[in-house]
Chain A
Amino acid sequence: MAHSYTPGLTVTEQTVIRRRRQLPLPGAVLVAVGDTVQSNQPVARAELPGKVYPLNLANQLGVAPDEIKDYLIKKEGEPVRKDDILAENKPLIKWFKTEIKSPITGTVESLSTITGQVLLREPPRVLELLAYVDGTVVEVHPRQGVTVEARCSLVQGIFGIGGETFGVLVTAVAKPDEALTPAHLTADMKGKIVVGGSFLSAETMARAKEVGVAGLVVGGIHDKDLRALLGYDLGVAITGTEQVGFTLILTEGFGTIPMAQKTFALLSAHAGEKAAISGATQIRAGVIRPEIIIAKSAGAAQPGVAVTPQREGIRIGDPVRIIRDPLFGKIGEVSALPADLQKIPTESEARVLEVRFPDGQVAVIPRTNIEVIEGL
Chain B
Amino acid sequence: MSASTHASEKPTFDHPLNVIVATDCGSTTTKAILIEKVGDEYRQTFRGEAPTTVEAPFEDVTRGVLNAIAEIEELSGRRILDGEKIITPCRDAKTGVDIYISTSSAGGGLQMMVTGVVQNMTGESAQRAALGAGAIVIDVLASNDGRLPHEKIERIRTMRPDMILMSGGTDGGAVTHVVEMAEYIAAAEPRPRFGATYKLPLIYAGNKEAQPQVRKILGEKAALEVTENIRPVLEKENLAPARNKIHDLFLEHVMQQAPGYRKLIDMTGAPIMPTPAAVGLIMETIAKREHLNLIGVDIGGATTDVFSVFDGVFNRTVSANLGMSYSISNVLAEAGLANIMRWVPFNIDEQTLRNRIKNKMVRPTTIPQTLDELQIEQAIAREALRLALIHHKSLATGLKGVQQERTISDAFEQQASGKSLVDMLKLDLIVGSGGILSHAPRRIQSMLMMVDAYEPLGFTMLSVDSIFMMPHLGVLSTINENAATDVFVRDCMVYLGTCVAPIGRLKDGERLAEYELTFPDGRVVKDQLKMGEVRLLPLGLNQKARLAMQPVKTVNLGQGMGTPVSREVQGGVVGLLLDGRGRPLQLPADEPARVAALTKWFESVDLYPRSQG
A366 at the interface (CB under 8 A from B): yes
| Contact (Cβ within 8 A) B187 A52 | yes
Q: Which positions 16-55 of chain A face chain B at CB distance < 8 Å?
A: 22, 25-26, 49, 51-54
A109-B187, A283-B364, A286-B56 in contact; A369/B369 too (CB < 8 A)?
yes
Q: Which positions 301-345 of chain A face chain B at CB distance < 8 Å?
A: 308-311, 323-326, 328, 344-345
Q: Which positions 121-173 of chain A face chain B at CB distance < 8 Å?
A: 121, 144, 158-159
| Contact (Cβ within 8 A) B213 A114 | yes
| Contact (Cβ within 8 A) B107 A285 | yes
| Contact (Cβ within 8 A) A5 B71 | no
CA distance A4 to B50 in the complex (A): 7
| Contact (Cβ within 8 A) A286 B367 | no
Out of B179, B188, B302, name the residue touching A115 (CB < 8 Å).
B179
| Contact (Cβ within 8 A) A326 B70 | no
B450: A residues at CB distance < 8 A = none
Quick one: closest A residue to B150, CB to CB? A53
A203: B residues at CB distance < 8 A = none
| Contact (Cβ within 8 A) B359 A323 | yes
| Contact (Cβ within 8 A) B176 A287 | no
B154 at the interface (CB under 8 A from A): yes
B153: A residues at CB distance < 8 A = 51-52, 54
A237 at the interface (CB under 8 A from B): yes
A298 at the interface (CB under 8 A from B): no
State how many residues of chain B have any CB contact under 8 Å with chain A.
Answer: 68
A233-B333, A283-B326 in contact; A117/B183 too (CB < 8 A)?
yes
CA distance A343 to B57 in the complex (A): 32
A222: B residues at CB distance < 8 A = 351, 354-355
A49: B residues at CB distance < 8 A = 189
| Contact (Cβ within 8 A) A345 B612 | yes
| Contact (Cβ within 8 A) A348 B354 | no
B332 at the interface (CB under 8 A from A): yes
| Contact (Cβ within 8 A) A237 B362 | yes
A1-B67, A144-B196, A346-B368 in contact; A159/B362 too (CB < 8 A)?
yes
B191: A residues at CB distance < 8 A = 25
A345: B residues at CB distance < 8 A = 369-371, 609, 612
Interface of B: prevailing SS: helix
Q: Which positions 221-247 of chain A face chain B at CB distance < 8 Å?
A: 222-224, 226, 232-237
Out of A159, A223, A284, A344, name the residue touching B326 (CB < 8 Å).
A284
| Contact (Cβ within 8 A) B362 A54 | no
| Contact (Cβ within 8 A) B150 A287 | no
A2: B residues at CB distance < 8 A = 67, 70-71, 74
CA distance A223 to B350 in the complex (A): 10
B149 at the interface (CB under 8 A from A): yes
| Contact (Cβ within 8 A) A350 B55 | no
Q: Tally of A-B residue pairs with Cβ under 8 A?
A: 192
CA distance A224 to B54 in the complex (A): 32
| Contact (Cβ within 8 A) A284 B27 | yes
| Contact (Cβ within 8 A) B609 A325 | no
Quick one: closest B residue to A122, CB to CB? B150
| Contact (Cβ within 8 A) A236 B330 | yes
A140 to chain B, nearest CB (A): 15
B372 to chain A, nearest CB (A): 8
| Contact (Cβ within 8 A) B363 A158 | yes
A268 to chain B, nearest CB (A): 24
A7 at the interface (CB under 8 A from B): yes
Out of B63, B332, B366, B370, name the residue touching A323 (CB < 8 Å).
B366
Out of A224, A235, A323, name the residue touching B329 (CB < 8 Å).
A235
| Contact (Cβ within 8 A) B366 A223 | no
| Contact (Cβ within 8 A) A114 B175 | yes
| Contact (Cβ within 8 A) A325 B363 | no
Out of A285, A309, A310, A368, name the residue touching B108 (CB < 8 Å).
A285
A255 at the interface (CB under 8 A from B): yes
Q: Which positions 17-73 of chain B face chain A at CB distance < 8 Å?
A: 27, 50-51, 54-57, 63, 66-67, 70-71
A234: B residues at CB distance < 8 A = 329, 333, 358
Quick one: closest B residue to A58, CB to CB? B176
| Contact (Cβ within 8 A) B326 A237 | yes
| Contact (Cβ within 8 A) A346 B179 | no
The interface of chain B, by Cβ under 8 A from chain A, is 27, 50-51, 54-57, 63, 66-67, 70-71, 74, 106-108, 149-150, 153-154, 175-176, 179-180, 183-184, 187-189, 191, 196, 213, 302, 321, 326-327, 329-330, 332-334, 350-352, 354-359, 361-371, 373-374, 439, 441-442, 609, 612
Q: 11 pairs across A/B with beta carbons < 8 Å?
A: A25-B191, A254-B358, A255-B355, A281-B362, A324-B368, A324-B369, A324-B373, A345-B369, A346-B367, A366-B366, A368-B366
Known: A159-B362, A283-B362, A309-B57. 8 other contacts (CB 8 A): A2-B70, A54-B183, A110-B183, A236-B330, A284-B326, A346-B368, A347-B609, A348-B368
The interface of chain A, by Cβ under 8 A from chain B, is 1-5, 7, 22, 25-26, 49, 51-54, 65, 109-110, 112, 114-115, 117, 119, 121, 144, 158-159, 222-224, 226, 232-237, 253-255, 281, 283-287, 308-311, 323-326, 328, 344-348, 350, 365-366, 368-369, 371
